[in-house]
Every structure is written in structure tokens, then in C-alpha cells.
Amino acid sequence: MKISIVVGVRPHLVKLSALWPVLSAAHDVQIVHTGQHFDHSLNGAFLQEFDLPAPHRQLSTGSGTHAQQVGTAMVQIESALAELRPELAVVIGDTNSSIAAALAAAKSGIPVAHVEAGMRSFDKALPEEINRLAIDAISTLHLCSTTRTRDQLVSEGHRDSVEFVGDLLLDVCLRQQPAALAALARFNSAIPGLAESALVTFHRGATLKDPRLLTEVVEGLLGLDRPLVCVLHPAARRALEDGGLLDRLGHRTVAMLDPLGHTELLALLSGVDRVYTDSSGVQREALFVGTPCFVLRDSTEFRETVELGSGRLVGTDRRRIAASGGDVLSMPSREEVRDYFGGGGAAERIVKAIGALSR
């Protein structure tokens, strides 16, 4: 089968690294990159780290409002799909690239397979929630990371198109574990007090674009009374600088790092006492490596963080964040977590589910 996988942000590339070798061995697969978050120093490093080929079509949708991003991406993706003529389009997650690809494919008469289908925060104020609902509404095949997300889709009427396949991110974490342990040894030597520190990473536009919320988050983190290790996306660093908060955050920070490779990030996650993040991917990775996670949001589509007891929603209120500094969470066993998310082998199950479409 001829398949186009549409990606646009770095987390897509992480998950693609697990899927690409298996899927491309069974089918004729092309990668289309929308350019939603294209930066050679970031995306290029990810392609190299995971031995992924350069995209077969590199688009340039760029930034802008949500409508501008989706509209521009749809036009360019439609053109790319017309040239590539795939029999199936695969989209991952809930980004503007994902919804643009799903819409462009569906309107071109191309079936859509959605990886990470069925995730719900039940908060329609979040743009990603609208994307998730719309992608699932038009997808032909729903590939679910957990039985909970599968059951959610069944409750929405998608009974005949859902498959529980497990989580590609777990596949990646299991594969990268030996390299992450080696990287952790280097971090332990370079960062004093790492085991007592809190890892901090946030990037959501709702926080970065609101000076009041950003101040609340920073003041809450400073109230944790423990050293901080901050990994800052360029947008987060700019927002902190513009708000006069970067130096203030630095007073409690033992290491302020630029974006890391995925293996290095896993290493840090494995070595710290806890993590504060607004990223769904980091929430999952924290769960997979057994590190308590405090979510800088009031809702999450990755509800397993809370349901399995491995995390807590602390929002963007300084008092809630600071008060969580001494909280001790009862973490589930790694065996329980791995079973819950398919135990590895998600890529193989995805290929099997896609293969069934062509029969």
C-alpha cells in the first residue's frame, strides 16, 4: 500500500522513529513535513538521532493564528498528496498539522488513520481538543494507545474502526533505555543535586502568551524549595526574557538547558525527583520511567497521569504549584504501566491494523 505520513512537530518525529522502520518495510511510505515547527537545529538533530530519512516533501506552513496555520497547511498538504497519490494518510496526535492533514486527505478522498486516537481532555477551550474531536470524526482507522481511549471512541460510535495498539512513545522509551542510562551518568556528574531536583519544561502558548499566567508559573516554581533543572524551548526562553523572568527563574535553577535530544531528556527524567510540565508527551515519558509528574494545566488528555496515581494537576496557580513541592505520589509499578500501554510492540500492531485495511 502507498502511504503518506504527515508530521509537523518534534514529538511526531520521536514517535515516527518507532513506526518508520516497521511500516516502511511493509509498505511504500513517504514522509510529508508541514514545517509547523521546523528548525534545522532541532528537527535536524531529531532526524539524525533516530536515523530517519529526510522528508519526501518539506512544506513551509510556518506560524500564525490557528486558522492561518491550518488553512495554509491544508493547501500545501493537498498539493503534496495530489503528487504522491497515497492510498492512506497517517496522522499522529492533535496538532494543527494533524488536523490539516486529516482534512486535506479526507477532502481528497484518501482514508485517514489516526495514531493516538480517542484522547480527550473534555475541555473544548483547548485548540488541541477541537483537533482531536475533528480528526477522529473523519478518520477511517482509529489507532488507540490504551483501552480507555478505545472505549472512549466506542462510546462515540466508532465501534468498527478502533484498534488498541499500544503507545509508540513506550516503544521509543524501551528502545532508548540503555542509552538514557549512559547519558544519566553524565548528567549526574555535571549537575549537582540532580536526584533532589525538579525538572521543568513548559511550552504551551496559552501560558507563554499571558504574562500573568507565566509569572504565576515562575513564582510557583520558585516556591518549591528545591533546585530546578529547566529545559527551555526557544519560545519559552523568549517569553521569560520578555517578561523579565528569566534571571529570576535562574536564582533557583542549577541548570538551564536548551532543547535536548530525546535520549538526553529521558535521562534527565529518570534522574530527577519530579517533573513539572505542560507537555502530554513528557507526562507519558515520566510515567514510563517512574518519575512523579505535576502538570502545569487544569486538564489533560493524558488522564492516565492522574488515574494511575503518577501525577497531579497543579494548573498555573503559584500556590498550588508551590504547595506540591513536598507531595509524595504513590507510583504504579513499571510492569503495570507497560501492560497498560501495550507492553511495547505498538508499531507492529499499527502495521497489522493498516494491513487489514488493504484486504
Measured CA to CA, the distance from residue 215 to residue 208 in angstroms comes to: 10
Instruction: Compute CA distances 144 → 25, 72, 83, 162, whole Å.
Output: 22, 28, 30, 7
Active site residue 203: yes
174, 237 in Cβ contact below 8 A? no
Taking the CA atoms of 46, 48, 54 and 60 in sequence, report the sign of the dihedral they define.
positive
Instruction: Compute CA distances 326 → 183, 273, 315, whole Å.
Output: 27, 11, 16
Measured CA to CA, the distance from residue 7 to residue 32 in angstroms comes to: 6
Measured CA to CA, the distance from residue 33 to residue 60 in angstroms comes to: 8
Which of 203, 233, 251, 262 is the catalytic position? 203
Residue 280 neighbours by CB distance under 10 Å: 22
Q: How is 229-254 classified by DSSP, letter by letter?
A: EEE--HHHHHHHHHTT-HHHHHTTEE
Measured CA to CA, the distance from residue 319 to residue 170 in angstroms comes to: 33
At 42, which amino acid appears?
L
Strand runs (DSSP E) across 178-290, as ranges?
198-201, 228-231, 253-257, 274-277
Measured CA to CA, the distance from residue 50 to residue 44 in angstroms comes to: 10
Residues recognised as catalytic: 203
